[in-house]
């Protein structure tokens, strides 16, 4: 189709063949490593595409629903019955599709390492999946939802049905949020976004944008501002111990805000999201003299990574499981543990 990249067209044809030839007697799991509007819209659209070719697909996510915008979208479209935590995935499922993530060895989805990936659709570099055995589509655009919108247009063309606002709506809000309100969008992202707005209308899109901030988020944001430390052009913002994975989704939102600070090229926002798990969100400015993906992998290993947006800014993070002895696991030593983590992160980058 005119205007669709050759990579998207080739991946779409390969995926069509895989889905048409697959035995539909068992379900496919569409997996989201980290839930956000882009990943959610991509998963819902992929579920629709699977159904078009006679396949039943279920959606599962790692971590938690988390931030306030995710919660709002789930409420607007009543998605709780259809999008479930990966802990609820049946042990009988073997075939999976990854969206907005390209790695089987992913600490956020520890149960999938030995599963069979049918397809990977992502806009982050660094997949560990062999493209000779799997449909792999990874392109440098602002949002995964852009790639899947293009794929649906290529595969179905004028046959695209009115599939319900929830698919088009989540794709549109996914592109909008992942490209920072289109400020870092490529031409392809904008074209896909315009197509989707034409499907749902601006009033529906505004409804998806109109969500309330929780007091917990505001408290976490305040903590980041009050405890931030700046060294040269690097900013470190510890949030301490959070109340679990749910509030861990606040970290990237705080990082997005702080990286726009004048004179800052790197922001690291981190917190303990469990007794021995550190989650880190990282952002780099377009003028940063380093590749954020390479930097995070160097410092934190394979459970870290980043994407580079079309405008040159970087978005990524890391997840670290601490090996603690019995003494450090004692809650009376929590303050000491937090200080130790803070010192270690700063030492790695200063």
Crossing angle of helices 6-21/37-52, nearest 10°? 50
Name 229's Cβ contacts closer than 8 Å, sequence gap at least 6.
Answer: 235, 236, 237, 346
Q: What is the structure's pLDDT at 291?
A: 93
Query: Phi and psi of 245, rounded to 5°?
Result: -60, -30
User: SS3 for 183?
Assistant: coil
- What does the alpha-carbon distance between residue 73 and residue 79 come to, in Å, rounded to a whole number? 8
Q: What local confidence, expressed as pLDDT, does residue 7 receive? A: 94
Q: What is the pLDDT of residue 64?
A: 82
What residues in the chain have per-residue pLDDT under 50? none
- Residue written as tokens 């160097």? 298
Q: Render the burial of 239-249: b for 16+ CB within 10 Å, e for the rest.
A: bbbbeebbbbb
pLDDT value for 203: 95
Residue 135 confidence (pLDDT): 86
CATH class of 6-209: alpha beta
Please tell me the predicted confidence (pLDDT) of residue 91.
85
**Per-residue confidence (pLDDT) for residue 159, from 0 to 100:** 62
Give the whole-angstrom CA distance, residue 130 versus residue 8.
17
CA pair distance 148, 48, nearest whole angstrom: 11
What residue spans define the domains of the chain? Answer: 6-209, 215-349
Look up the pTM and report it: 0.84
Check whether domain 215-349 has CATH 3.10.310.30, yes or no: yes
The pLDDT score that the predictor gives to residue 302 is 79
pLDDT value at residue 311: 82
**Amino acid 40: pLDDT:** 96
Token look-up 């996510």 returns: 61
Residues 6+ apart with CB under 8 A from 282: 255, 266, 267, 268, 269, 292, 296, 306, 314, 315, 316, 317, 318
pLDDT of 118 reads 94
Measured between alpha carbons, how far is residue 155 from residues 53, 55, 66, 159, 190 in Å?
11, 16, 33, 9, 20
For the segment 141-186, what is each residue's pLDDT rounded down to a tens digit? 999 999 999 999 999 886 666 566 799 999 999 999 999 899 889 9
Task: Give the tokens for residue 280.
Answer: 């880190």
């Amino acid at each position: 189709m005119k205007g669709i990249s050759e990579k998207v067209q080739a991946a779409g044809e390969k995926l069509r063949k895989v889905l048409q030839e697959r035995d539909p007697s068992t379900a496919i799991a569409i997996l989201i490593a980290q839930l956000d509007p882009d990943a959610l819209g991509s998963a819902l659209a992929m579920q629709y595409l699977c159904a078009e070719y006679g396949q039943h697909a279920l959606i599962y996510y790692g971590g938690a629903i988390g931030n306030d915008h995710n919660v709002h979208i789930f409420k607007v479209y009543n998605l709780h019955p259809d999008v479930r935590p990966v802990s609820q995935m049946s042990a009988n499922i073997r075939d999976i599709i990854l969206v907005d993530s390209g790695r089987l060895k992913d600490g956020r989805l520890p149960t999938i390492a030995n599963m069979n990936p049918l397809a990977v659709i992502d806009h982050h570099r660094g997949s560990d999946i062999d493209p000779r055995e799997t449909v792999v589509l990874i392109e440098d655009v602002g949002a995964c939802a852009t790639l899947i919108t293009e794929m649906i247009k290529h595969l179905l063309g004028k046959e695209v049905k009115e599939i319900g606002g929830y698919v088009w709506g989540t794709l549109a809000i996914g592109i909008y949020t992942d490209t920072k309100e289109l400020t870092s969008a490529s031409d392809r992202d904008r074209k896909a976004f315009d197509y989707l707005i034409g499907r749902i209308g601006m009033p529906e899109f505004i409804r998806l944008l109109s969500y309330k901030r929780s007091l917990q988020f505001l408290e976490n944001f305040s903590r980041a501002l009050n405890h931030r430390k700046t060294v040269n052009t690097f900013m470190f913002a510890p949030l301490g111990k959070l109340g679990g994975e749910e509030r861990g989704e606040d970290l990237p939102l705080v990082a997005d805000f702080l990286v726009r600070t004048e004179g800052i090229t790197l922001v690291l926002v981190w917190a303990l999201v469990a007794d021995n798990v550190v989650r880190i969100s990282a952002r780099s400015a377009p003028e940063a003299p380093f590749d954020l993906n390479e930097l995070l992998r160097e410092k934190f290993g394979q459970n870290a990574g980043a994407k580079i947006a079309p405008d040159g800014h970087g978005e990524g993070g890391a997840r670290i499981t601490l090996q603690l002895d019995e003494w450090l696991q004692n809650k009376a030593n929590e303050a000491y543990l937090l200080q130790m983590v803070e010192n270690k992160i700063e030492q790695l980058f200063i």
